[in-house]
Homo-oligomer: A and B are copies of this chain.
Amino acid sequence: MAKEKSFDDVMSELENIVEKLEKADIPLEEAVDYYQKGIELSKWCDERLKHVEDKVVSLIDENNNKVPLDDEEV
């Protein structure tokens, strides 16, 4: 998957696929293809999200070390 694609674009794509998969009359092979594509996209999204989550958390940790705020709040 190209790095240029945004998370939200990919999420839209994924949602699209999920909707297609949820239709009752989808041909089996198409379903499998969509499923495969969906798995692929969800992996990409997951990695992306994990990366972001790690970043946010690490920045917050780092920040908390320097600017201690109320622990309950953060």
Task: Give me the interface of A with B, judged by CB distance under 8 Å.
Answer: 6-8, 27-32, 35-36, 39, 42-43, 46-50, 52, 55-56, 59-60, 62-63, 66-67, 69
How many angstroms from the CA of A6 to the CA of B31 in the assembled complex? 11
How many angstroms from the CA of A15 to the CA of B46 in the assembled complex? 30
Assembly of this chain: how many copies?
6
Q: Given known contacts A42-B67, A46-B66, A66-B43, is B6 in contact with A27 (CB within 8 Å)?
A: yes
Tell me the dominant secondary structure on chain A's binding face: helix
How many angstroms from the CA of A6 to the CA of B35 in the assembled complex? 16
How many angstroms from the CA of A43 to the CA of B29 in the assembled complex? 17
Query: Closest residue of chain B to A59, judged by CB?
Result: B39
